[in-house]
């Protein structure tokens, strides 16, 4: 059985972590299949990506039973988690983490590496790392600091406190909480909306926000000017302006 399943619905690619008996904990095989799925998502026909989990978990992080033989932890992180986290950030389209259930350790880091987090009301969030004497890896110090700010990120990640979906919403960790029964439909609706949006402008916006974290205002204004010049060359910009003039909904093609 595949440890990652990939499906397509029009321009939306859904990537499902698929080890439900182990709450989709990461193995070497799962990393490899996730890497292949993210590579597949680079196809221009894909205009939005959803990452979710099978069963009652999003991901419980590293499979702690499959980790024992990893002698060089840093090399293991570089070869697996780093590859997939950077693939998500460099993917030129929006990536939704559809957090269907428990989200812990590097599973939490992966969710936080995505552009948008939607949570089922059955989801809960656990740092995990500190519970086994580790630091938040796979971007856990980078993304969670940006999402929550240093004081809250530090306090949470060092407490191992279990956060409900409602608390995650109140903290700004997720943007929406949906009843479990309605979750997949809401995720599909949100992803379809993004897939019908001007893909190039969204890709440029994603990159600009990533760069803004370490830029001066002057650098960022220049980056915006260059990106806007690029966006203004797209078919979607022409379509957007034409639709405005004709008082109709724009039909963006991603071109």
What residues line the site for ligand LHQ (CB under 6 A)? 22-23, 25, 60-65, 67, 73, 77, 102, 104-106, 126, 128-129, 131-132, 134, 137
Q: How far is the CB of 100 from ligand LHQ (least distance, A)?
A: 13
Please tell me the distance from the alpha carbon of residue 227 to that of residue 153, in angstroms, as a whole number: 32
Q: Coil, strand or helix: which one is 94?
A: coil
Residue with the two structure tokens 């959803």: 50
Closer residue to ligand LHQ, CB minimum distance, 16 or 62: 62
Give the pairing of strands 116-120 and 95-99.
Answer: parallel
Q: How far is the CB of 179 from ligand LHQ (least distance, A)?
A: 19
Phi-psi bin for 209: left (phi > 0), alpha (psi -120 to 50), beta? alpha
Q: How far is the CB of 130 from ligand LHQ (least distance, A)?
A: 9
Show the tokens assigned to 161: 């406190």
Q: Coil, strand or helix: which one is 176?
A: strand
Closer residue to ligand LHQ, CB minimum distance, 129 or 142: 129
Please tell me the distance from the alpha carbon of residue 7 to that of residue 13, in angstroms, as a whole number: 6
Catalytic residues: 82, 137
Closer residue to ligand LHQ, CB minimum distance, 126 or 202: 126
Closer residue to ligand LHQ, CB minimum distance, 139 or 198: 139
What are residue 252's phi and psi, to 5 degrees?
-80, 140
Q: How far is the CB of 138 from ligand LHQ (least distance, A)?
A: 6
Strand arrangement of the beta sheet that strand 102-104 belongs to: 57-59, 102-104, 124-126, 163-164
């Amino acid at each position: 059985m595949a440890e990652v399943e990939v499906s397509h619905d029009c321009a939306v690619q859904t990537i499902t972590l698929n080890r439900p008996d182990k709450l989709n904990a990461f193995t070497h095989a799962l990393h490899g299949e996730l890497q292949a799925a993210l590579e597949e998502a680079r196809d221009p026909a894909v205009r939005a990506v959803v990452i979710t989990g099978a069963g009652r978990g999003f991901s419980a992080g590293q499979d702690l039973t499959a980790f024992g033989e990893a002698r060089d932890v840093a090399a293991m992180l570089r070869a697996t988690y780093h590859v997939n986290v950077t693939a998500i950030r460099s993917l030129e389209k929006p990536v939704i983490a559809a957090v269907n259930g428990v989200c812990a350790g590097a599973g939490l880091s992966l969710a936080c590496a995505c552009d948008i987090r939607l949570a089922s009301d059955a989801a809960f969030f656990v740092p995990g790392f500190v519970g086994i004497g580790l630091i938040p890896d796979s971007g856990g110090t980078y993304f969670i600091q940006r999402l929550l700010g240093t004081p809250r990120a530090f306090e949470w990640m060092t407490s191992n406190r279990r956060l409900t979906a409602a608390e995650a919403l109140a903290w700004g960790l997720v943007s929406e909480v949906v009843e479990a029964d309605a979750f997949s439909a809401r995720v599909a609706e949100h992803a379809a909306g993004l897939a019908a949006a001007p893909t190039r402008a969204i890709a440029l916006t994603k990159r600009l926000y990533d760069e803004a974290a370490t830029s001066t205002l002057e650098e960022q204004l220049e980056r915006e000017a260059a990106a806007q010049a690029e966006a203004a060359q797209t078919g979607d910009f022409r379509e957007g302006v034409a639709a405005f003039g004709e008082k109709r909904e724009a039909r963006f093609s991603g071109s």
